Structure formats: C-alpha cells, structure tokens
Amino acid sequence: MADTPKVSRRLIDGHTHIGALGAFKYYDLKEPLNVTVYEFDDTKDYIKNHLDKYNIERSLVISNYGVPIQEQPFSLNPLVIESTQASDRLYGAIWTSWLPRNRELTMEALKHAREKGIVALKITFLLGGTPDPNKWDDETREIATACLETAEKYDLAYHFHTSPGGNADISNYVPLVEQWGKRVKMYLVHCGGGVSGQIKLVPKFLDWVEQGYKVWTDVTWTTGFGPRLLLTEIERRGVGYDRVLFSSDEPWSDFWGEYWKIQGAPVSEELKDRVFYQNFLDLYGDKVK
C-alpha cells in the first residue's frame, strides 16, 4: 500500500473529534453501522493516525459524538483532558449542554475548564434545545449563563455546531451572538454547514467582525462555493482575515477535502497561512504551549 501523502506547509487543525463512538442503528437501518468507518480510540491512536499521518503540527480535540444519547459525549470529556495533558501537540474542548436534563453533567464538566490544555467549550443543539436566548426558560437560561460566564472568565472559545435548518440553523444564533458575542469568543463551526447556511452567514459574519463581535468560523461541511465566497469576501472587504481557522472535523469529514477547500482557494498565500495555522495561535494566545 502506498504511503499516505503529507502536507508540506505548516498546518494546525482547529476542530477534530477523539474517542470511540462505534456502530449505531441510525434512522431505519436494519443493522448498526459505523458511518465514519474509522475513529481515534485514544491519544496514541489519534496522534499516529491523524497528526503524524498528515504532518499536522498540533490540533484541538473534542468528544466524538453523533448518536442521540445525551450522556455519550460527556463520557469522553476525561479522554479529551487526558489527551491534552499527555501531549503538548493537543488542545481540548470540554463538552457541555444547556438542556436542564443535563444540568449535573454540565456543571461537572465546567469544573474542568481550567485544566491544562483546555482552550474551549463545545455544544450542539442537534440533541435538543436552542441557542436563541429569547426562547430559553428560566432553568435553561441559568445553565447557559453559567456556561457562557465560564467561557468569558477563563477566556475560552465556545464552539457551536451550525447546520442549515432546525435548532442549529445560523438564524437561531443571531440573538445569541448579538447578546453575548462581545463578551465571549464564539466559534461558529461549519460556517452554516451548507448552501443556505453559508449564504446566510458569510455576509453577517463579516458584519459582526466589523462591529466588534468576537466570532470565528471554519469551512468544514461547506459546499463548493462557500470557502471561496468567504475567503474572497475577506480580501475584498479587508476584514475577517484573522477569524477563519483550518479544521478537518475528522473523522466526520475528510482531511484532504477540507484541506483543498483552503489550499485551492483563489486567495493570497498570506491569507492561507493565516487560516492554516496563525489564526489558531492567535485565538488561543498564551494557552498555546
């Protein structure tokens, strides 16, 4: 078997997943299926089969998730912490939830916000709930506020999954960003995640940057025109060059596909360098080891 090609430029991966998820009976499948084909079971496996495989300098790891079991991603927080402490090449995001049913799990998770190598918090609304503060009940507001204030206190980036439609649609994030986004660093994963999402987000995202909001994004899951729209608009408007990170979202996306969205974009090498490594270093600042 031929050796896997490696990247020849400096590269840091801003959003990946670690831990075993395994096969699951998604939708109406007759048998469980491991849809990502492979996973990174532990720290050693991740470094060998992701970082070293592609010549990636360092990366951020997050609980692997994707099944409708609330407790599952919380169960991998210890692996994330262990990984950041085992290798100076790894940084971590702690899994959280704003659902009242997950209050105890989230409060326990927040206790680890100051662990070595932890630079972010992570949440998805694919498992329920909403990012829109106008739709929170009192208990949800209390939990969300505790999470957001923790991110603010310890200067953590909050990673929010975005995708078109449903609770994770970027439209639902607008009130959150505009209420909290000048206090808390908000990383809008996937740049809307698809055609409607990226059309909605790209102009709004650059407006937010101009208006002083602390927002970042990546172009994982975006469709063909999305990355070049975002990057060429950054160069045209002269704003946002420091707010986009390269991310592979492995094992849920494909490393080379995500790499070439940036490498093949019709923009300057200076902007590509910002995306491929410098913006990660700037975002996480003195937390970078």
Give residue 1's pLDDT.
41
Separation CA 267–CA 235 (nearest Å) = 8
Q: What angle do CA 15, 96, 101 make, to 5 degrees?
A: 145
Separation CA 110–CA 128 (nearest Å) = 20
Average pLDDT of the chain is 96
**Dihedral of alpha carbons 268, 52, 57, 286, sign:** positive
Per-position pLDDT tens, the chain of length 289: 457 889 999 999 999 999 999 899 999 999 999 999 999 999 999 999 999 999 999 999 999 999 999 999 999 999 999 999 999 999 999 999 999 999 999 999 999 999 999 999 999 999 999 999 999 999 999 999 999 999 999 999 999 999 988 899 999 999 999 999 999 999 999 999 889 999 999 999 999 999 999 999 999 999 999 999 999 999 999 999 999 999 999 999 999 999 999 999 999 999 999 999 999 999 999 778 6
What DSSP string describes 8-74? Answer: -S--EEEEEEES----B--TT-SS-B-TTS----SHHHHIIIIIHHHT--EEEEEE---SS-THHHH
Q: What are phi and psi of 283, to 5 degrees?
A: -60, -45
Tokens of 275: 């995306």
Give residue 289's pLDDT.
67
Domains of the chain: 12-287 (3.20.20.140)
Q: Rounded to a whole number, what is the distance in angstroms from the first to the last CA of the chain?
A: 36
Give residue 2's pLDDT.
54
